[in-house]
Structure formats: C-alpha cells, structure tokens
Amino acid sequence: MQKRFPQLNGTVLVNGGIAAFALYFCMYAFRKPFSVATFEDMSLWGVDYKILLILAQVMGYMLAKFMGIRIISALRHQQRPRYLIFMILMAELSLILFALLPQPYNFVLFFFNGLALGMIWGIVFSYLEGRQTTEILSVILCTSFIISSGAVKSVGLWIMAAFKVTEFWMPAFTGALFLLPFFVFMVLLERLPPPTAADEAARKKRGPMAKADRQKVLSHFALPMVALVLFYVVLTALRDFRDNFSRELWDSMGYEDNVAIYTYSEIPIAVLVLILLGLFGWVKHNAKAFFGFHGLFILLCCVMAFSTLMYQKGLLSPLWWMMAVGYGMYACYVPFNSIFFDRMIATFSIKGNAGFLIYIADAFGYLGSMVVLLYKNFGQAGISWLHFFIGAIYALAALGVLASGVSLFYFQRKYVRMKEGVELNIVNANG
C-alpha cells in the first residue's frame, strides 16, 4: 500500500483528510441548522417563509459558484487562508443580523450567508487535488457534508430545546459553537505539504487557469459537459431537496420529533460512500477510473429507481428507502465535487485545476435547486413533499442513465483519438 500511495503518511492524513473533513464539517454549522426549524405559519408574497430562506441562501450560494468559476480556477495558494477567514466571519455575521432584523424581511440575510459559504469547498479541495491519494483525501472530505448536515441539525434542535433559543437565534448560536474549531482546522490544513514530483507525474501538475485555458477546455468538451451538467443540475436539486426538507419527509413517514434520525440515517451512507469511492484510489490508470465513474453513475441511478419502486410497493421500509436513495444520490454527487473531474484532468492532460470544472457543475446545479423549489411552491403546491420527492427520483434516474451514457460514448471516442494521435491533448493543442 505504501508503494501504491507514497503520500499516505501521518502528516498528509491528519493535515489533509482529517483537517479538511473537520473544517468542512464546521462550515455546515453556518449553513444547515436553520433548515431543521419549521417557521410555521409564516409566508411572504405567497411563498412559504422557509422556502424563502432556502431560496435566498441557494441564490447566494449559486452566485458564489458562478463567481468561483473565475476566482477558484485562478486562485493562488497564498490567498487561501485570507479567503477562508473572511468568508466564515461574513457567514456568521449574516446569521446574527438575521436574528436581529425584523421578520419576515430578514430572509435576505440568508443570501449573504450563502454568498459567503459558496466558495469554501473549492478552496478546501484545492489543498487535496492532484495527488496520488486524492481519492482517499477527497472522499474523507466529502463524507463531511453527508454526516455534518444531519449532525448540525441535531445540534440546532438540541440548542433550541436545552437553552430555549428561538428559531431565529438558533442558526447564529450553532455557528458560534463551531467558529474556533474552524480556525484550528484551517491552520492544520494550511500545513499540508504540497504535491510531490511523483504526484505531479501521476496526476498532472495543477495550477491557476487563465481565461484562454478555461475557454480551451470548454470548447474541447462542450457536448459531454452539457450532458453531465444537466444530470448534475437535477442531482443537486434533489439532494438539496432531501437535505433541506428532511424534517418534512421524515415527519410524513412517522418519525416526528426523532432528533437522532437525522444523524444515524446518514452515517451508514457516509461509510458506504467512503468505501465505494475509496476503492477508485486503487485504480492507477486514470482513464479506467474516469470511465468507471460513468458506469457507477448508471448503476446508482438504477438503484435509486428500484428502491423507490420497492418502497411504493411496501417491500422496503421508510428508513431503508431513504438510506438507499441517499446513498445513490451522494455516491453520484461526491465524485462530481472532487475525484471525477480530478481524473478527467489527468486522463486528458488538461492544463489547470479541478476547481474550474467543479464550479461550472455546481453553479448550474444550485440554479436547478432554485427552480425545483419554485416549481414545488407554485406549480405543485397541492402535492405532498413525499410524493413530489418520489416522482422527482424517477426523473433523476432516467436523466442520469441517459446523460452518463452520452458522456461515456463521447469521452471514450475522444480518448481513443487522442491516443492514436488524431487529436492532441489539451496541454499541447493550439500551442
């Protein structure tokens, strides 16, 4: 194992995987606790108040992703700590002002909360990409948002119950608990040694991208990127829907006031995703791993559709169904946020970094999340959260199989032509 993963040592694991996991776990304490509150009987302009909060946060998050296409792709290493400090303090300040300003117009503060948090992922992942151990490090990182979302909701509910904190102050109190740990783990992550020469030989050296570099990549891979982004848009929207309205979904299936369900239903998902995607780290051949992810996406879409059918027929319990669907979503979602594009860069010798491609997918993904929320509120207001979720899963599965198939066909042809010398790689094309 040491031979296959030369960077797999104590320093990299602690300062890399564990520190990145813990830092991003702390970030979720500033983003997700509010969603466990119900904000009952509140609305504005005909829109449910909780949906307004989610829309405002997602709009800020989405704008940050579009900004990140340029900022993260051109980010220099020495800028990372300053960005992280500024963003997390801005996020906490927005939560404090949310509690202080009059309701319901205080919902606009969640726009600034989302804007502050939307680029943290790209910064954290930039510490981990381009290594022979990127799969292990990034999967450890990605399990943080699987576990942390449920965990910080449990913390939020506990704060309201134990300290009689209102729904409006609870998000700021929860964030404040995690502020100091966030800075501690940021320092640990900053101590991570840079990729070695062996890493750069195996995974391609990473660096900032100029405008011409970004345009070259997009023009070269336009068709599969459109197909994959469409899949990712619906995937992000449904993953976000399951996350933001987990209380409504669990309550409708008989789990009212079960605080622990938000945490222990997600832990097995995180462990299984960690195991499954970690196995890709053993695949040294970049193209095989990259194409393998396409097959994985198709398989997982079938799992989501089949488990939903079994649940509707009464052959699968609500708990096992939510875990099966959650596993399918996260096992597709996690690669898009890390190792899928990391392998793509290595396969086609692309000059640049994975953050650029990740943020293209993420920007449109959160745009899709907003569309789904608005459609549910205005177009399907009469349908229950649960029935809406079930129908959307089938749509996601069908689109995922189609998009992954189109992308796989295109990339395989492109790879063969590149290996035969018909096309040059992205580094050498056009000089």
Per residue in 203-238, pLDDT tens? 777 777 778 878 888 888 888 999 999 999 899 888
Chain centre to alpha carbon of residue 64: 14
In this predicted structure, the answer to whether residue 11 has a pLDDT above a threshold of 70 is no
29 neighbors 152 (Cβ within 8 angstroms): yes
Q: Report the length, in residues, of the chain.
A: 431
Q: Most distant CA pair in the chain: distance in Å?
A: 68
Give backbone dihedrals phi and psi of 3, rounded to 5 degrees, phi first: -70, -40
Helix (H) or strand (E) holding 44: strand 43-44
338-306-366 Cα angle (round to 5):
35
287 neighbors 142 (Cβ within 8 angstroms): no
Tell me how far apart the alpha carbons of residues 14 and 295 are, in angstroms, rounded to a whole number: 32
68 neighbors 87 (Cβ within 8 angstroms): no
**Which residue from 153, 163, 220, 202 is spatially nearest to 428, judged by alpha carbons?**
220
Tell me how far apart the alpha carbons of residues 84 and 182 are, in angstroms, rounded to a whole number: 9
pTM: 0.74
Average pLDDT over residues 241-251: 77
- pLDDT of 95-116, one tens digit each? 999 999 998 899 999 999 999 9
More confident residue, 402 or 161: 402
Lowest-pLDDT choice from 28-32, 263-267, 271-275: 263-267
Question: CA dist 161 to 158, 246, 341, Å?
Answer: 5, 19, 43
Average pLDDT over residues 273-279: 81
- Percentage of the chain with pLDDT > 90? 33
Tell me how far apart the alpha carbons of residues 172 and 89 are, in angstroms, rounded to a whole number: 11
Tell me how far apart the alpha carbons of residues 92 and 95 are, in angstroms, rounded to a whole number: 5
259 neighbors 154 (Cβ within 8 angstroms): yes
399 neighbors 379 (Cβ within 8 angstroms): no
In this predicted structure, the answer to whether residue 297 has a pLDDT above a threshold of 50 is yes
Coil, strand or helix at 48: strand
In the chain, what are the helix, strand and coil shares in percent, each to the nearest 5?
Answer: 75, 0, 25
- Read off the pLDDT band of 150 (50, 70, 90): confident
Tell me how far apart the alpha carbons of residues 234 and 368 are, in angstroms, rounded to a whole number: 6
* pLDDT, position 6: 42
Which structure tokens are listed for 62? 């989405």
* pLDDT, position 17: 82
Compute the half-sphere exposure of residue 96: CA atoms within 13 Å on the CB side of its CA. 8
Tell me how far apart the alpha carbons of residues 152 and 34 are, in angstroms, rounded to a whole number: 9
CATH class of 10-419: mainly alpha
Tell me how far apart the alpha carbons of residues 395 and 322 are, in angstroms, rounded to a whole number: 17
- pLDDT of 364-410, one tens digit each? 877 877 777 677 666 565 677 788 889 989 999 999 999 999 999 99
- Read off the pLDDT band of 411 (50, 70, 90): very high
Tell me how far apart the alpha carbons of residues 415 and 409 are, in angstroms, rounded to a whole number: 10
Mean pLDDT of the chain: 84
